[in-house]
């Protein structure tokens, strides 16, 4: 059992996937890195509102999950790039239908949320 969600990961593959991309920034990171390798500063510029600390933490977690690769180039000053691994690329493909569903129903969903709030 996962202490965070209380869901048995042997039973539900969805909970494993959500652990990898759950949270405020990880899906956004998947989108940014899906466009190709990016440097930390560029990612931060593209994801307005994320702090350096939170971005670094999310990238580390995604690297530990095996969906993000961190490459340090032996230059002075050192250059670091982040990219999706083959596992991350496969996850990005799996997430595309969710993005398409959100785009298709954006107006209706935002209207529903506005009427609740």
CATH number for position 47:
1.10.10.10
Overall domain count for the chain: 1
- Its domain, for residue 34, covers 14-115
User: For residue 67, is it within any domain?
Assistant: yes
Model confidence at 114, pLDDT cuts 50, 70, 90, reads confident
Q: What is the pTM of this model?
A: 0.80
- Do residues 46 and 60 make contact, with C-beta atoms less than 8 angstroms apart? no
User: For residue 74, is it within any domain?
Assistant: yes
- Do residues 63 and 69 make contact, with C-beta atoms less than 8 angstroms apart? yes
User: For residue 18, is it within any domain?
Assistant: yes
Averaged pLDDT score across all residues of the chain: 88
User: For residue 47, is it within any domain?
Assistant: yes
User: For residue 26, is it within any domain?
Assistant: yes
**Distance between CA atoms of 32 and 19, rounded to whole angstroms?**
19
Predicted pLDDT of residue 6: 53
């Amino acid at each position: 059992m996962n202490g965070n969600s209380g869901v048995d990961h042997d039973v539900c593959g969805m909970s494993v996937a959500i652990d990898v991309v759950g949270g405020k920034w990880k899906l956004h990171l998947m989108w940014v890195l899906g466009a190709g390798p990016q440097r930390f500063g560029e990612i931060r510029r593209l994801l307005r509102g994320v702090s350096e600390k939170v971005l670094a933490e999310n990238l580390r977690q995604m690297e530990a999950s095996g969906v993000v690769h961190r490459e340090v180039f032996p230059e002075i000053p050192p250059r670091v790039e982040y990219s999706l691994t083959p596992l991350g690329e496969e996850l990005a493909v799996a997430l595309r239908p969710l993005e398409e569903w959100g785009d298709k129903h954006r107006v209706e969903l935002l209207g529903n949320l506005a009427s609740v709030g």
